[in-house]
Chains A and B, each alone.
Chain A
Amino acid sequence: MSGNEIVTDVVVIGAGPCGLFAAFELGLLDLKCHFIDILDRPGGQCAELYPEKPIYDIPGFPMITGQGLTENLMAQIAPFAPEFHFNRMVNSITKQDDGSFVLVTDADEVFHAKVVVIAAGGGSFQPKRPPVDGIEQYENKSVFYSVRKMDDFRDQDVVIVGGGDSALDWTLNLQPIVRSLTLVHRRDAFKAAPASVNKMKELVMEGKINFLLGQIAKLDGENGQINHVHLTTDAGDLSVPATRLLPFFGLTMKLGPVADWGLELNDNLIVVDTEKFETSVPGVFAIGDINTYPGKLKLILSGFHEAALMAQRAKKIISPDERVVFQYTTSSTKLQKKLGVA
């Protein structure tokens, strides 16, 4: 086993509210968690979709924001020191002969875990693909959803689509190195830092970039290389010569590799029982929005309940001979010691 392989009791896939709370329930049972999440921070949908929006149905909180809930959960699980691996996606889960699991991420990291908890919500957040026929054949060759290496854009004819911070920031950052740059947005209003918008407008005035009001309709090219982007605009259809396209339409949730893990699925949800919230593969659990069972409600509070029951079963798998006494945090000195309050 090489040094960068991680051995732990439990890998939790997804650091949204239900996954985070799972670390609490598992921690009370002395189980150590590692989180893997495709986002760059904890909170899942609470962080990505509605950090500022109020939530009214968390028990004990008449109102809390997505961000507030995430912060509280992070504080609640801090005593158990879970470890976080962000900006990564689990590609594969393989069951070993001894019943444990090996997980490999898209960054080629290897995790060894006795139990896997899938708390992946609506799947992994991935860039939204614009509704343009055949765009797949150009992806990662001449159509990119993020800039990994600026050099890929040097001396290219670049079209950037979108009106948010990503579109504006990359317009400003790439402009000095490209051959030509066209920013395309559907309207003359931007949801981006005003300073960036002003800078972009200056570049347009100086003739250094083009700005077009419109939407992408079609791509021309061959062998993965685009050569023209066709736009629909109020003034009619336009064709812009382009060798690189960067659409920035934000993120959407996609099931992703979960579909290939050999778990029983129903309409892209993972089928679990309601006693242990275990999937069709013993030792792999699914909690929160990603699971389904009769009567399932996609509520954060349901995921909290599921986490508690899952943890009991996970403990039995990991420590089959240990006798576990059910205890309350209010009265158990042992639990309070674990929480660092006794």
Chain B
Amino acid sequence: MKILVTDQVGTEHELEGLEGWRVMEVIRDWGLNIKAECGGALSCATCHVYVDKSWLDVVGAPSDEEEDMLDSVGDVRSNSRLSCQLLMSDALDGLKLTLAPSAAKEEAA
């Protein structure tokens, strides 16, 4: 199964993922610009993505805890999600999303 990810500079990537992987893990393992500093513990918001509007119904709404974490980034939109909370499944095959500026890693020294 695949996801389509547009990074912060506008390049689109088609990424292969496996059932049950977190979408964050797929993006991170393919080496895209995602900080994901807490590793998927829903304890930061550095895997912040914008879900393509056509996929919002499939993906569903964030939990209260996820909404709380989204308070810690300044670029939230109505289609914001934390990608560590999205699990790869047949239903999400083809999911389109864009990496938020606030998900970017620190530039290498």
Closest to B100 in A: A131
User: Shortest Cβ distance from A273 into chain B, in angstroms?
Assistant: 21
Tell me if B101 counts as interface (CB < 8 A to partner A).
Answer: yes
Closest to B42 in A: A53
A50 touches B46 (CB 8 A): no
A191 touches B74 (CB 8 A): no
Q: Given A45-B38, A164-B71, A185-B71, does the pair A252, B44 have CB atoms closer than 8 Å? A: yes
User: Shortest Cβ distance from A69 into chain B, in angstroms?
Assistant: 14
Tell me if A259 counts as interface (CB < 8 A to partner B).
Answer: yes
List, in ascending order, chain B residues with CB within 8 A of A131's CB.
73-75, 101-102
A130 touches B37 (CB 8 A): no
B38 touches A250 (CB 8 A): no
A268 touches B108 (CB 8 A): yes
B71 touches A163 (CB 8 A): yes
A252 touches B74 (CB 8 A): no
A50 touches B38 (CB 8 A): yes
List, in ascending order, chain A residues with CB within 8 A of B46's CB.
252
Tell me if A49 counts as interface (CB < 8 A to partner B).
Answer: yes
User: Shortest Cβ distance from B84 into chain A, in angstroms?
Assistant: 12
User: Shortest Cβ distance from A267 into chain B, in angstroms?
Assistant: 6
Closest to A260 in B: B109
Closest to A130 in B: B74
B73 touches A249 (CB 8 A): yes
Bound together, the chains give a CA A247 to CA B73 distance in angstroms of: 10
List, in ascending order, chain B residues with CB within 8 A of A187's CB.
67, 71
List, in ascending order, chain A residues with CB within 8 A of B70's CB.
186
List, in ascending order, chain B residues with CB within 8 A of A247's CB.
74
Tell me if B106 counts as interface (CB < 8 A to partner A).
Answer: yes
User: CB-defined interface of B1-22 with A at 8 Å, one 1/0 digit per residue?
Assistant: 0000000000000000000000
Tell me if B32 counts as interface (CB < 8 A to partner A).
Answer: no
B72 touches A49 (CB 8 A): no
Tell me if A132 counts as interface (CB < 8 A to partner B).
Answer: yes
List, in ascending order, chain A residues with CB within 8 A of B37's CB.
49, 122, 252-253
Tell me if B91 counts as interface (CB < 8 A to partner A).
Answer: no
Tell me if B41 counts as interface (CB < 8 A to partner A).
Answer: yes
Bound together, the chains give a CA A243 to CA B46 distance in angstroms of: 29
User: Shortest Cβ distance from B105 into chain A, in angstroms?
Assistant: 8
Q: Given A50-B43, A128-B73, A189-B67, does the pair A255, B102 have CB atoms closer than 8 Å? A: no
Pick from A189, A191, A216, A268: contact of B106, CB under 8 Å: A268
Bound together, the chains give a CA A45 to CA B37 distance in angstroms of: 10
A215 touches B76 (CB 8 A): yes
Q: Given A49-B41, A189-B67, A191-B68, does the pair A255, B109 have CB atoms closer than 8 Å? A: yes
A50 touches B41 (CB 8 A): yes
Closest to A122 in B: B37
User: Shortest Cβ distance from A231 into chain B, in angstroms?
Assistant: 11
Pick from B39, B67, B72, B105: contact of A250, CB under 8 Å: B72
**B residues with CB within 8 A of A:** 35, 37-39, 41, 43-44, 46, 67-68, 70-76, 101-102, 105-106, 108-109
29 A-B pairs with CB atoms under 8 Å apart are A49-B37, A49-B41, A49-B44, A50-B38, A122-B37, A123-B106, A128-B72, A130-B75, A131-B73, A131-B75, A132-B74, A161-B74, A162-B71, A164-B71, A164-B72, A186-B71, A187-B71, A191-B68, A215-B74, A215-B75, A216-B74, A249-B71, A253-B37, A254-B106, A255-B106, A255-B109, A265-B109, A268-B105, A298-B39
**A residues with CB within 8 A of B:** 45, 49-50, 53, 122-123, 128, 130-132, 161-164, 185-187, 189, 191, 215-216, 247, 249-250, 252-255, 258-259, 265, 267-268, 298
